[in-house]
Structure 1
Amino acid sequence: MRIEPEYKEPKTILNKGTGFLSGYTHSLNPYTGCAFACSFCYVRQMPVSLFRQMDWGTWVDVKQGAAAVLRRQLRTAKKRGAVTIFMSSSTDPYQPIEHKELVTRSLLEVMAEEPPDFLLLQTRSPLVTRDIDLLKQLEERVRVSMTIETDLDDMRKLFTPSAPPISARLRALTQLTEEGIATQAAIAPLLPSSESFPQVLRQATNRICIDDYFNGDGSGGKRTGRLGLASLYREHGLEEWYHPDALHKVVERMQDVFHEGEWFMSPQGFEP
């Protein structure tokens, strides 16, 4: 898919944490738009996407000069109290354009020098391992949350064909964990998976967070429903997975492998 980047110079980069992110003082998005174009992404239903005259996944705004803006805002915010940051809430900080633009890395460089009290780094990209050197400098102040919705790559291809392969994400998560960086696997939203999914995740991390469309989209599943996902599940004979009961099935499987304090339900698992 061809991506049309635009370059913007933001006046602010830290946004107040609200709603789902109310446990954080701020959210931080290095880009606007996301080339991974996941079929279930809630941002598809937000004004930033609806008012754009281009399909979601075909455009990305690159925030030039973001590091300088963050440095200024971060210093001011830290004078007022604790600073906890969720990166990112409406884009993937390690989508393909990050290879070239390095916006996310520049922001981590600032945070290594001016550490927030906590940073949750949410991604589905193995590119995050490139920045292990900076993540280590943040020590206990950072957790990398790697989205791994399923262990079945054919399900990944069905729902998120432009996203990185599951095997690559698992290798990246394992590497981060072995490097001593706090990690978790975010099964969010959960997709059809195999019975061995818990064992697969256990080899990569000791913490998981589980979520589904009906709890995680902020509207009891209505916002996701408008994306037409129900028909996609029906078309492929997966109706049982597009139901609240699927969450209970996956939780039961995970509880056999992950103990109390190692598995969480969203939003608890994303809290600082």
Structure 2
Amino acid sequence: MKPTIVHKTPKTLLNPASGYLTGYSHTLNPYTGCAFSCTYCYVREMPVAKFRGEPWGTWVDVKEGAASILAKELVKAKRKGRVTIFMSSSTDPYQPAEYNERLTRSLLEAMVAEQPDFLLVQTRSPLVTRDIDLLLRLKDRVRISVTVETDLEPVRRAFTPAAPPIAARLGALQRLTAAGLDTQAAISPVLPSSQRFAARLAEVVGRVCIDDFFMGDGSLGKRTERLGIRRIYEQLGLSDWYDREAYQRVVTELRHHFPEDRLFISQAGFLP
């Protein structure tokens, strides 16, 4: 089912970064809401979702005229100091609405004209490859982080049925890396995977970050517990993966394929 699309005019685009994203000056969210509707998304437990009155994933607000607002805000922000931007903290900038809206692309165009000191693009969508031309113009100031939580499609479908397939994400990473861009695979949150997972990632990307519910949901796993994620693990017969130490088995495999200075744990992998 396609989400309801509503166009709204925002007053501001850049928001001060805090908490998990301390280290950035700002966050930037082209959309409010997300059609990928991942079962474990921490935004489900935030006021923007809980007080909406509509199920998460069934609505998306498009921030109309965002590029012109951002252009002005960038000029002002750069007068005050370094501008480091995390895009996006509570939505996916390349969710399906972006195919027609081209909102994220317009924001990249604004950032090419008035360049921030650093931009991290966080997505799970292969659509990001459409904007390689603009990303290359930000080349030394941008990193593209693509979420790849598992290499097992049945697991991906159980947790994120509306998200792009794993093979498509790996293909996107390969294209971005081949273009000469700074890329990373974000195993965030770590989901059950095969022993081949680390090797598959090493074939397409040179940097990886791993995180889990207990480190990365902002409440030591309590938000995730409230979402009932444990039940999905039980249904898959993979309850042993819902554990604070489960990520370590993936880290062990990653160390066979990535040097220590290209392997990051939790918050450190997302900082500028």
Considering the TM-score relative to the shorter chain, is it more than 0.5?
A: yes
Structure 1 segments unaligned to the other structure (5+ residues): none
Using the TM superposition, give the Cα deviation of residue 14 of structure 1 relative to its aligned residue in structure 2, in angstroms: 0.2
Which residue of structure 2 lines up, in the alignment, with residue 253 of structure 1? 253
Task: Tell me the residue number matched to 2:76.
Answer: 76
Residue 170 of structure 1 is matched in structure 2 by: 170
One-letter amino acid of the counterpart of residue 105, structure 1: R
Q: Deviations over 1:185-238 (max 9, x none)?
A: 000001100001011000111000000000001111001100001112112211
Find the residue that maps to 2:261 and give its secondary structure.
Answer: coil
Letter of the 2:197 counterpart? F
| Residue 13 of structure 1: aligned partner | 13
1:186 aligned partner: 186
**Cα distance in 2, alignment partners of residues 140 and 261 from structure 1:** 19
> How far apart, in 1, do the equivalents of 2:230 and 2:207 lie?
30
Show CA shifts across 1:137-156 (max 9, x none): 00110000000000111111
Aligned to 2:240: 240
Letter in 2 for 1:9: T
Q: Distance in 2 between matches of 1:260 and 1:47?
A: 38
Spell out structure 1 runs of 4+ moving beyond 3 A: none
- TM-superposed CA distance for 1:248, in Å, is 1.0
Q: Within the alignment, does 1:105 sit opposite 2:83 as a pair? A: no
Q: Match of 2:49?
A: 49
Q: Secondary structure of the equivalent of 1:199? A: helix
The number of equivalent residue pairs is 272
Identity percentage of aligned residues: 59
Which digits, 9 at most, give the CA deviation of each residue in 1:149-198, with x for residues without a partner? Answer: 00111111010000000000000000000000000000000110000101
**Partner amino acid, structure 2, of 1:89:** S
Query: What is the Cα deviation at residue 2 of structure 1?
Result: 2.3
Q: In the aligned structure 2, how far is the partner of 1:5 from the partner of 1:157?
A: 24
Structure 2 unaligned segments of length 5 or more: list them.
none
The alignment's C-alpha RMSD in Å is 0.6
- Look up the equivalent residue of 1:42 and give its one-letter code: Y
| Match of residue 130 from structure 2 | 130
SS at match of 2:138: helix
Please list the CA deviations of residues 18-76 of structure 1 after superposition, one character each: whole Å capped at 9, or x if unmatched: 11111100000000000000000000000000001111000000000000110010000
- Which residue does the alignment assign to 2:207? 207
* Separation in 1, partners of 2:238, 2:245: 13
State which drifts further: 32-41 or 225-234.
225-234
- Amino acid corresponding to residue 153 of structure 1 in structure 2: E
Indicate the residue corresponding to 1:219 in structure 2.
219
Give the match's secondary structure for 1:209: strand
TM value normalised by structure 1:
0.99
Q: Which amino acid aligns with 2:81?
A: G
Distance 1:270 1:231 in 2: 28
TM-score, with length taken from structure 2: 0.99
| 1:87-142 Cα shifts (integer Å, max 9, x gaps) | 00000000000000011000000001111000000000000000000000001100
Equivalent-residue separation in structure 1 for 2:218 and 2:124 (angstroms): 21
